[in-house]
Amino acid sequence: MLIEPSIEFIDVPLVGKLGTHKLAVYEWGNKNNINVVFCVHGLTRNGRDFNFLASALANDYRVISVDVAGRGKSDRLADPSDYNYGTYVTDTAYLINKLGIRNINYIGTSMGGIIGIMLANNFPGLLKSLTLNDIGCLVPAAGLKRIVQYVGATGFESRAAAEAQLRSRCSPYGITDEACWKDMFSHSIEEIGGGRARLAYDPAIADNLTKPLVPIIDVNLWPFWEKVKLVPTLLIRGKNSDILTHETAIQMQATHPDFRLLEIDNVGHAPALMDTTQIWAIRSLLEYEKPPFDYLLNYESLTSLKMAKEKITSVIPKKMRDFINYIIGKNKN
């Protein structure tokens, strides 16, 4: 059952400029819980994308998500050039300080994952764990070009047209439950009068992505990887992703001493984090300091899962055994 979060609007200064902008911050669970999960969404999405994940974790964690500037209920920025990672990272750091939270379990989808990588580099020791949802150390230009093709279009003649467009854009997420689609629609579409509707983000966020005469090229984040190696990390990847390749994921796994990899069949960019399998993978990172054997969360085949089951011993906590048994049962079909 979904839990409705509280919402707070926090004034955040824009670095180097006068004035502030309001960011919408959502919370689930007990505000006094020191076990904190902090979630940040993708480029055109919003903080309510984590409704299902947060509801599943709320009994055990204080879960926080944010609408990044220009998305959801947060203010739109007057100058489109301020839609950049400098703004996003400083905004997020300001919120974390304002909320007084430390030792954070950070979860970031796509853009949110890049923000997490930057936080790990700029604020050592801030993150207790890091979940990267379909984003890695090399972002291919081909995937970026696909996103650029639609990101600036937000207005539609009807709500039905907006829903159809959102369903098309988000089809790679792997959403199969209509209830999940309806929840997404309810937080991603705004009525603007005359029967028209728009998606809940500022189309000006596209300006920095589509500069004339500036070619779209691969984005190399490998220089930031060294600091991330200090943080226990889970990488979730849709097997059909055009933003994170299997080769990049494997290279990240090979170079990180405390790393889990979950690759999901029939999903592209980016997994919705609404599915029980994905939620359990995240919970496993939150609850256990280190997996009992290296490939525990690298579910590339049913064969490896059966091997994992054979290696289960009494030293593996019951919740972890239940998780493996659940995944194996799910893959039998």
- Per-10-residue mean pLDDT of the chain, 333 residues long, equals 96 89 98 97 98 98 98 97 95 97 97 98 96 98 94 95 97 96 98 96 92 87 97 97 98 96 97 94 81 38 38 38 46 44
pLDDT score of 25: 98
pLDDT score of 14: 87
Q: What's the CA gap between 331 and 13, in Å, rounded?
A: 48
pLDDT score of 292: 38
Tell me the pairing of strands 233-238 and 259-264: parallel
What homologous superfamily is domain 6-141+218-331 in, according to CATH? Alpha/Beta hydrolase fold, catalytic domain (3.40.50.1820)
| C-beta atoms surrounding 300 within 10 Å | 15
pLDDT score of 16: 81
The DSSP H or E segment spanning 145 is helix 141-151
